[in-house]
Amino acid sequence: MPAEKRLAVRGSERKPMPGASRAEAVKGDEIVRATVILNRRHEPGAPPPGGLKHESRQHYGVVHGATSNDLGAVERFAHQHGLTVSERHPERRSIVVSGRADAIQRAFGTELAYYVTKGGARYRGRTGGLTLPATLAPSVMAVLGLDNRPVAKPHFRRRKRTAPATSFTPVQVAQLYNFPSGVNGAGQTIGIIELGGGYSTADLSAYFLALGIAEPNITAVSVDGGQNQPGGDADGEVMLDIEVAGSIAPGANIVVYFAPNTDQGFHDAIATAAHDATNQPSIISISWGGPEDSWTEQARNAMDAALQDAAQLGITVTVAAGDDGSTDGAPDGLLHVDFPASDPNVLACGGTKLAASGGAINSEVVWNELASNEGATGGGVSKLFALPSYQASAGVPVNPETNFQGRGVPDVSGDADPETGYQVRVDGQNTVIGGTSAVAPLWAGLVALLNQQIGKPLGFANPLMYQAAESAFIDITLGGNNADQNSPYQAGKDWDACTGLGSPNGSALVDALLGKSASQKGA
């Protein structure tokens, strides 16, 4: 019988993590779980600009989901190789298969082994690319989960210095940014993606009681076995996200999607939230990420497709831009932007240092505490995603290292410096936390208020943000996000690669969006 012709899965090549060494082969009887992501039946056009009618989840799944032929081909492939199909999601274009490691390796043409990093962390990994039968490979966008190395880190920063400093409750930050009053996010659902950690209901009850705010309705959803498991450092991320978003929009439902910190888990969490017909989030907040070129091409493509789905379905996705300045913490010291903040389908959120007194802002500059090892806002120009049309007139420069005309990061900003951070409660302790992780849920809460006040979801909000009047933002014109003062990324008038369009002037933003929405309705 002739050997089966196989083709490479585009962009699936892997290398060991920097400094990691192979420890041992994976045992043949270990159970491995993978998500196979298929191409769309029909590619959608550009996402509808914010406020315009978007497709229903059901209709979108039928038109743009996977074909029954492709789904059937994956199922037959799995059964031929002794694998079990444990989940099937036509609307998400994904099938989850599982089986013994020896069968998985034969099925996908790879060898799995355990690797140990210099820090002693252990992960299951692979090198090289994956292959599939030539009849199936053209239909497959990605195969995620065979390699379970962590792909992202949470973008929060605990205050380190003990010197007197300023801190705010999320409510105070909202007041300083003139968030709209008379609305509380009722009728909206904010989805929050978490790749670790957990929350304590007792802590949340105590926190909102102390603020005099009605505790929002909070639900946990498990994705790929992820669970609400408080007790580790990532609790700071989870509690920060819930407490900031919940303080801003206490009338909104909050749904926390817990998933493993792997490319499979991250993708599946976003896809689950976007297509969640039960909870139907209108906003998704993401405070995790990593340098965009640290991802495999297939994982980036799969994540991008899931974020495209969210935009098409009228969901606003707010994403933290990173806490390590213009290098995004990459060891090569070069310029990097964080992903998924660099994806053109999301609202990327950068960070500032906020000073205020008497209920008014005294000053606001780029967050940059790199000199004291307390981080700086991420930002810059993508090396992988092209300049989107909504940034065509924003003055985004080419990437200074590659001359690529890439997507500029961030789009907007807000208070993030841990020295002017947010008062939160984590694992029974009141503390102060900053980072762009706080800005993503801050904007998520604001969007919930805007959705309620405008009467319909903003959805893909980026075009409206870039068309809004200058008065809708507080322009940040001082500071840079590199340890070197000669950094190519400096704040300036209008959009810049440190704070984007600026921090929100909430009421002015409402006026701008209402005016734009009315003009669209009459068009």
100-119 per-position pLDDT tens digit: 999 999 999 999 999 999 98
CATH number of 153-522: 3.40.50.200
pTM of the complete model: 0.96
Convert the pLDDT of each residue in 491-504 to its tens digit.
Answer: 999 999 999 999 99
Write down the domain spans for the chain. Answer: 6-144, 153-522
pLDDT at 483 (0 to 100): 80
Neighbouring residues of 216: CB distance < 8 A, sequence distance ≥ 6:
208, 246, 249, 250, 251, 252, 253, 254
State the chain's mean pLDDT as an integer: 93
Residue 242 has pLDDT above 60, yes or no: yes
Provide the pairing of β-strand 316-320 with 283-286.
parallel
Mean pLDDT of 209-226: 96
Tokens 């790199």 sit on residue: 370
Asked which of 57-66, 161-170, 296-305, 465-474 is least confident by mean pLDDT, the reply is 161-170
Residue 520 predicted with pLDDT over 70: no
Inter-helix orientation angle 263-274/297-312, to 10°: 10
In the chain, the percentage of residues whose pLDDT exceeds 70 is: 96
pLDDT at 488: 86
How wide is the angle at C-alpha 480 spanned by C-alphas 474 and 483, nearest 5°?
150
**Would you place residue 161 in the very low, low, confident or very high pLDDT band (cuts 50, 70, 90)?**
low
Indicate the helix (H) or strand (E) that contains 362.
Answer: strand 360-366
Q: What is the pLDDT of residues 68-103, one digit of tens each?
A: 999 999 999 999 999 999 999 999 999 999 999 999
State the number of CA atoms in the 13 A half-sphere of 472 facing the CB. 20
Residue 51 has pLDDT above 80, yes or no: no
- pLDDT over 90 percentage in the chain: 85
Cα dihedral 50→56→57→58 (10° resolution)? -170
The pLDDT score that the predictor gives to residue 519 is 44
Question: Catalytic pick from 437, 487, 503, 517?
Answer: 437
How far is it, in rounded angstroms, from Cα 451 to Cα 445?
10
Q: Cis ω on the peptide bond leading into residue 18 (within 30° of 0)?
A: no
What local confidence, expressed as pLDDT, does residue 446 receive? 98
The yes-or-no answer on residue 241 being catalytic is yes
Question: Of 237, 343, 417, 419, which one is the catalytic site residue?
Answer: 237
User: Which residue is catalytic, options 91, 203, 224, 241?
Assistant: 241
Q: Which of 45-49, 228-232, 407-411 has the highest mean pLDDT?
A: 407-411
pLDDT for 518: 42
Q: Is the pLDDT of residue 516 over 60?
A: no
